[in-house]
Amino acid sequence: MSKTFTLDGKVIPFEEGETIMEAATAAGVYIPHLCHHPEFKPHGSCKLCTVSIGGRLGAACTNRAEEGMKVESETEALNADRRSLVQMLFVEGNHVCPSCEKSGNCQLQAVGYHLGMLTPHFPHFYPARDVDASHPDMLLERNRCILCELCVRASRDVDGKNVFGIGGRGIRARLIVNAATGRLADTDFSVTDRAAEVCPTGAIIRKRYGFTVPIGKRLYDRHSIAELPPLPAKRGEGRGEG
């Protein structure tokens, strides 16, 4: 018999070494997240997947499941914290959904919908961030970057290219690229890279493919991110990467 723990009272089986997030996803239970992706090493930075593990708070994507542990996720307090985190992500960047090609397919937006966020609430920073349109096929729109490092992980661990990194600290942290000029066009980044598809927001997007799906038919228009099947581990089974 496999080992189990409980998540909001539901019995979740797990294999030795699996994280709470992995076990929950396999059991079809959604825990809100942004920097987690099943294909990549956990990052534990967005803190949206914070759950109560036997009364202590921890990230579901980095904490291993253990026999008999009691985990709580869908509590009013945790969802209120998650909503505040998403609100802070919105005011820290320039997330102008009405003019964004990713709108309707964006995970940041979808998590906001799932958590019932009606307003970013906090004072907007309106930071000055650079756009890099130098690459022929891909656009780097730093206004929409949430520093989840999925592109960093994909480029390093799957593409073997190390195109992306985070430079600066605190509020000055920003997505940088691996070229002396600082321009995306001067890296070996390609539209076929895994890193070209993993951005949860519209920060790394393919040129000339915006607004192709009408409003009402986009990924999260009718269905909450919690109802949809989890992100595929392999490319080509696509969802959430339009």
Partner 1 sequence: MSKLRVATCSIAGCFGCHMSLLDIDERLFELVKAVEFDRSPITDIKHCGPCDIGLVEGGVCNAENVHVLKEFRKNCRILVAMGSCAITGGIPAWRNNVDLWDCFQEVYHYGIGLENGQVPNDPELPLPFDKVHPINEVVRVDHFLPGCPPPADAIWRFLTDLAAGREPRLDYEMLHYD
Q: Which residues bind partner 1 (CB under 8 A)?
A: 90, 94-100, 103-104, 109, 112-113, 116, 118-121, 123-124, 126-128, 215, 221-224
Nearer to partner 1, 1 or 128 (CB): 128
For the CB of residue 216, give the shortest distance to partner 1 in the complex, in Å.
8
If phi over 0 gives left and psi between -120 and 50 gives alpha, with beta otherwise, what is residue 168? Answer: left
DSSP state of 64: B
For the CB of residue 95, give the shortest distance to partner 1 in the complex, in Å.
8
Nearer to partner 1, 97 or 176 (CB): 97
Nearer to partner 1, 55 or 123 (CB): 123
Q: Are 23 and 74 in contact (CB under 8 A)?
A: no
For the CB of residue 67, give the shortest distance to partner 1 in the complex, in Å.
37
Nearer to partner 1, 29 or 117 (CB): 117
Nearer to partner 1, 57 or 125 (CB): 125
Q: How many residues belong to the chain?
A: 242
For the CB of residue 233, give the shortest distance to partner 1 in the complex, in Å.
27
Contacts with 90 (C-beta within 8 Å, 6 or more apart), sequence order: 108, 112, 117, 120
For the CB of residue 114, give the shortest distance to partner 1 in the complex, in Å.
9
